[in-house]
Amino acid sequence: MGDRDRDEKSGKFTEEYPRQDFLEALAELGPSGTTDISDYVGCDRRTAYLKLKSIEEDGEIRSKKVGNSLLWELDE
């Protein structure tokens, strides 16, 4: 994590995987599983899952259980 950038004004670290990347993945891929989205964004599956759950809580996307997997899609 030593190579992460900091915001010059706040001193806070910039977000490594911005939520916009996940929204773009869903716009591009359509309804997708967590692994497909993590591959698109370039992060590990756990990171993708946690970010997607956060975005879902904000009401921008929704998920549904399909077999043993979650299918994510934009909430339009």
In the chain, where are the structural domains located?
Answer: 19-74
Q: Are 22 and 37 in contact (CB under 8 A)?
A: yes
pLDDT at residue 21, as a whole number: 97
Which pLDDT tens digit goes with each residue over 13-66? 556 899 999 999 999 999 999 999 999 999 999 999 999 999 999 999 999 999
What is the pLDDT at residue 15? 67
pLDDT at 62: 97
**For residues 18 and 28, is the Cβ–Cβ distance under 8 A?**
no
Q: Which CATH number fits domain 19-74: 1.25.40.10, 3.40.640.10, 3.30.365.10, 1.10.10.10?
A: 1.10.10.10
Q: One-letter amino acid identity for 61? A: I
